[in-house]
């Protein structure tokens, strides 16, 4: 992967608890040439402890601490969540790491200036369903499946090292630039508008399952809209909201 493309891959740690692990992720990023670390937590992360990890400082000094996951990925046009799968019901496309890497490469090749986010959840629980609803697809590292034991997750620092090694190894493919895709910020604005339309139109009352926030967020991610189309859709939804009566429709 070209250095310029590596600078467009953000690693997002969601509810990582152990400063040693945050330091290990930063070190792996530094080792493989990545620099954009975003740490989303309910409390300020003690980066001082993480900085004790050798070679992690350069990345940690640049790390940001967005207050929400939506904010952390707002500028990204492809959001991939890592998961150990397990018994979770999946509502997203799922790729092994080896199959995800060419998709990341193709996205960075096709959309100049675009950003890709790679999400890692907390050491104990991974990414929650609410967190996964911000993702376009999931990535899993194939592990030992020959043992009877169900082994559900890797160490965070090791999982990050394996993913970043595989991505850094990927070769750029010359590709004609494509129209810019919608960012997560674009899609989240659409999600909020669509949810309001569902509420105000009475759709939410009739179809409470489809209208739940996570489902709305996921259906919008599955649209794979361009940035321009997302703006058009926003205008359509705003006009619909303008035209709807201000109180929710009641059933006849």
Describe the strand order of the beta sheet including 94-96 as a list of residue ranges. Answer: 36-40, 9-14, 116-120, 78-82, 137-140, 94-96
Question: Rule CB under 8 A: is residue 154 a binding residue for a second copy?
Answer: yes
- Choices 49-57, 63-71, 212-220, 234-242 (CB under 8 A): range interacting with a second copy: 49-57
Q: Report in angstroms the alpha-carbon separations of 23 from 60, 61, 119, 150, 199.
A: 8, 11, 16, 28, 44
Which 158-217 residues touch a second copy, going by CB under 8 A?
A: 158-159, 161-162, 165-166, 168-169
CB of residue 42 to a second copy, shortest distance in Å: 24
Question: Rule CB under 8 A: is residue 146 a binding residue for a second copy?
Answer: yes
Q: Report in angstroms the alpha-carbon separations of 20 from 24, 72, 94, 154.
A: 6, 22, 29, 15
- Are the CB atoms for 83 and 120 separated by under 8 Å? no
| Residue 154 or 219 having the CB closest to a second copy | 154
Which 51-80 residues touch a second copy, going by CB under 8 A?
A: 53-55
Question: Rule CB under 8 A: is residue 98 a binding residue for a second copy?
Answer: yes
Q: Is 117 helix (H, G, I), strand (E, B) or coil?
A: strand
The 10 Å Cβ neighbour count of residue 46 is 10
Which 6-35 residues touch a second copy, going by CB under 8 A?
A: 6, 24, 27-28, 30-33
Binding positions for a second copy, rule: CB under 8 A? 3, 6, 24, 27-28, 30-33, 53-55, 98, 141-147, 151, 154-155, 157-159, 161-162, 165-166, 168-169
């Amino acid at each position: 992967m070209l250095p310029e493309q590596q600078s467009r891959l953000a690693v997002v740690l969601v509810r990582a608890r152990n400063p040693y692990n945050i330091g290990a992720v930063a070190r792996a990023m530094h080792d493989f040439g990545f620099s954009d670390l975003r740490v989303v937590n309910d409390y300020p992360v003690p980066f001082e402890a993480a900085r004790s990890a050798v070679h992690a400082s350069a990345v940690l000094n640049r790390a940001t601490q967005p207050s929400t996951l939506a904010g952390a990925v707002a500028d990204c046009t492809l959001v991939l969540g890592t998961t150990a799968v397990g018994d979770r019901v999946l509502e997203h496309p799922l790729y092994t790491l080896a199959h995800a890497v060419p998709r990341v490469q193709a996205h960075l090749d096709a959309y100049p200036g675009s950003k890709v986010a790679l999400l890692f959840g907390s050491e104990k629980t991974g990414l929650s369903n609410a967190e996964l609803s911000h993702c376009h697809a999931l990535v899993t590292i194939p592990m030992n499946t020959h043992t009877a034991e169900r082994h559900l997750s890797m160490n965070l620092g090791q999982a990050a090292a394996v993913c970043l090694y595989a991505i850094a190894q990927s070769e750029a493919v010359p590709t004609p630039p494509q129209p810019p895709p919608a960012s997560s910020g674009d899609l989240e604005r659409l999600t909020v508008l669509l949810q309001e339309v569902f509420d105000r139109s009475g759709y939410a009352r009739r179809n409470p399952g489809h209208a739940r926030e996570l489902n709305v967020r996921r259906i919008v991610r599955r649209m794979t809209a361009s940035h321009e189309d997302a703006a058009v859709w926003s205008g359509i939804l705003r006009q619909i909201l303008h035209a709807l009566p201000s109180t929710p429709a009641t059933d006849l």
